[in-house]
Amino acid sequence: MIPVRGYEGARVAVLGLGRSGLSAARAVRAGGAEPVCWDDNPAARAAAAGEGFACADLTGAGAFDGIAALIVSPGIPHLYPAPNPVVLAALEAGVPVDNDIGLFFRSLATPDWDGFVTAPRVVAVTGSNGKSTTSALIHHILQEAGRPAQLAGNIGRGVLDLEPPGEGAAVVLELSSYQTELARALTPDVAVFTNLSPDHLDRHAGLGGYFAAKRRLFAEGGPDRAVIGVDEIEGRFLAGQMAEGPADDRVIRVSSGQKLTGPGWQVFARKGFLAETRKGKQMASIDLRGISGLPGAHNHQNACAAYAACRALGLAPRVIEAALHSYPGLPHRSQVIAEAGGVTYVNDSKATNVDSAAKALGAFPRIRWICGGLEKEGGLDALKGTTGAVAKAYVIGREAAAFAMQLDVEAEVCTTMARAVERAMEEAEPGDTVLLAPAAASFDQYDNFEQRGEDFTAEVEKRLK
């Protein structure tokens, strides 16, 4: 655990008692402050009380008297589409609002660091798609290289549950826009921006607000190195803001699909090969085509971003290359779950928006596509023109018929995962990939995308026995 610093002897309110909220309450208490907790869910309050935390309704009059700060869990809106009443009460009382990410950055460094030969480093990864894979891949490379490393944030553990890092260690954080937007402290050593596509628009009042939340990691964080995907205009704009000039190698530009040139530091992938150039000279080249854990151009972009971050930490190209080949992939993200009769079965349940689904559709030559769910704002128009490899779609979800009507491929309304898997397997031919890439949220039928992916996996495995 990383004890929270700066609030010794004070009362700190904690709103939301899920994984990150309880973790924050424990760390606040460990740092010598008194947590005052609240959650609308009685079961969550009971769990907190079971750990000895005081719970108090933070919506009442005078609830913020004597409170030094309010710590908010990421799922709770603090601005758009409307602030939570507790957050609004804190703002009206002049109480600072923060989250566990802000607490982490303000509390990580200790006087012990003065005795380290090599201080710990923090790598923070944000973006629309590929955050989890890029973060996990950086963590994997560091471990394979013998560097002590921990992974947390929007993936794995809460940031305050980490052990204080020691000599030469690294912490890799996946950070969502919900987390970067509110954190009062953001000071990574290396910051990574993967890409940008429309998502969470209601929470950020549009694409501009969404990008602004991501941009805070760089503009306010002041990283020593910035790894920035430049395949969208927002990334090119961000790289331009961070760099002092074309040769400023504090910015490492990353691309998948285009060759990057110039006197700066670039890492890009074309036709399955990763290339690193610096000061106009090629420094390394890696063949990504045979790496089973990183299929498709979107994963090649993730590989470029992870490679660049690890190079910024001083790792040699050959060390990174060896680690790429041993990367097993993440569950629910282009995860090969079975191969039988010449058919490959891939679970990409994390493809919860149209952009991530489009990238998955470009990774395989002939696809039986299982899609559908709770449609996100913006519709499915962005999928048009990306479905050339789809032999047929099998649509799930409560609104499967309406979803299917928007697709530009042959589609069968299946509604349930069981029926979709059954029909896809019946019609699949050798060389086909049965791909779950929903292009939608899971909440109409499942608690989360993980549960949806597990259902897909179970249905495939049941029929292969």
Q: What is the mean pLDDT of residues 105-124?
A: 94
**The pLDDT of residue 201 is above 90:** no
Q: Is 135 annotated as a binding residue?
A: no
CATH top-level class of 335-464: alpha beta
The alpha helices in 313-369, defined as continuous H runs, are 317-325, 354-361
Q: Report pLDDT for 328.
A: 86
Cα separation, 422 vs 330, whole angstroms: 25
Q: Report pLDDT for 241.
A: 95
**The pLDDT of residue 319 is above 90:** yes
Q: Report pLDDT for 403.
A: 95
Q: Is 128 annotated as a binding residue?
A: yes
Q: What is the mean pLDDT of residues 433-460?
A: 96
Q: What is the DSSP letter of 254?
A: E
**The pLDDT of residue 395 is above 90:** yes
Q: Report pLDDT for 104.
A: 97
Q: Report pLDDT for 390.
A: 97
Other CB atoms within 10 A of residue 2 CB: 24
Q: pTM (2 decimals)?
A: 0.86
Q: Report pLDDT for 46.
A: 95
Q: Is 195 annotated as a binding residue?
A: no
**The pLDDT of residue 440 is above 80:** yes
**The pLDDT of residue 297 is above 90:** no
Instruction: Tell the burial category of 143 from Cβ atoms under 10 Å away from its Cβ (0-12, 13-18, 19+).
Output: middle
Structure tokens at 373: 């769910």
Q: What is the DSSP letter of 420?
A: H
Residue 14 — φ and ψ, nearest 5°? -125, 120
Cα separation, 360 vs 320, whole angstroms: 24
Residues counted in the chain: 465
Q: Report pLDDT for 13.
A: 98
Q: Is 130 annotated as a binding residue?
A: yes
**The pLDDT of residue 423 is above 80:** yes
**The pLDDT of residue 171 is above 90:** yes
Q: Residues 55-82: pLDDT tens digits? A: 999 988 899 999 999 999 998 999 999 9
**The pLDDT of residue 225 is above 80:** yes
Q: Is 127 annotated as a binding residue?
A: yes
* Strands of the sheet with 97-98, listed across from one edge: 54-55, 34-38, 11-15, 67-72, 97-98
**94 Cβ contact partners less than 8 Å away, ≥ 6 residues apart:** none
Q: What is the DSSP letter of 157?
A: B
Q: Residues 18-41: pLDDT tens digits? A: 888 999 999 999 999 999 999 999
Cα separation, 46 vs 65, whole angstroms: 24
Instruction: Tell the burial category of 192 from Cβ atoms under 10 Å away from its Cβ (0-12, 13-18, 19+).
Output: buried
Cis peptide before 77 (omega within 30 of 0): no
Residue 440 CA neighbour count, 13 Å, CB half: 26
Q: Report pLDDT for 154.
A: 87
CATH code, residues 11-98: 3.40.50.720
Residue ranges of the chain assigned to CATH 3.40.50.720: 11-98
Q: Report pLDDT for 170.
A: 98
Q: Are 340 and 184 in contact (CB under 8 A)?
A: no
Within 211-297, strands assigned E span 225-229, 251-256, 265-270, 273-278, 281-287
Q: Residues 96-107: pLDDT tens digits? A: 999 999 999 999
Residue 317 — φ and ψ, nearest 5°? -55, -40
Q: Are 414 and 394 in contact (CB under 8 A)?
A: yes
Q: Residues 341-391: pLDDT tens digits? A: 999 999 999 999 898 899 899 989 999 999 999 998 778 988 988 999 999
Q: Residues 178-191: pLDDT tens digits? A: 999 999 999 999 99
**The pLDDT of residue 279 is above 80:** yes
CATH code, residues 107-325: 3.40.1190.10
Q: Residues 235-271: pLDDT tens digits? A: 999 999 999 999 999 999 999 989 999 999 999 999 9
Q: Are 207 and 215 in contact (CB under 8 A)?
A: no
Q: What is the mean pLDDT of residues 284-303?
A: 90
Other CB atoms within 10 A of residue 300 CB: 26
Q: What is the mean pLDDT of residues 202-208?
A: 92
**The pLDDT of residue 329 is above 90:** no
Residue ranges of the chain assigned to CATH 3.90.190.20: 335-464
Residue 368 — φ and ψ, nearest 5°? -100, 105
Q: Report pLDDT for 446.
A: 95
Cα separation, 72 vs 348, whole angstroms: 30
**The pLDDT of residue 199 is above 90:** no
Cα separation, 281 vs 266, whole angstroms: 10
Residue ranges of the chain assigned to CATH 3.40.1190.10: 107-325
Q: What is the mean pLDDT of residues 315-319?
A: 97
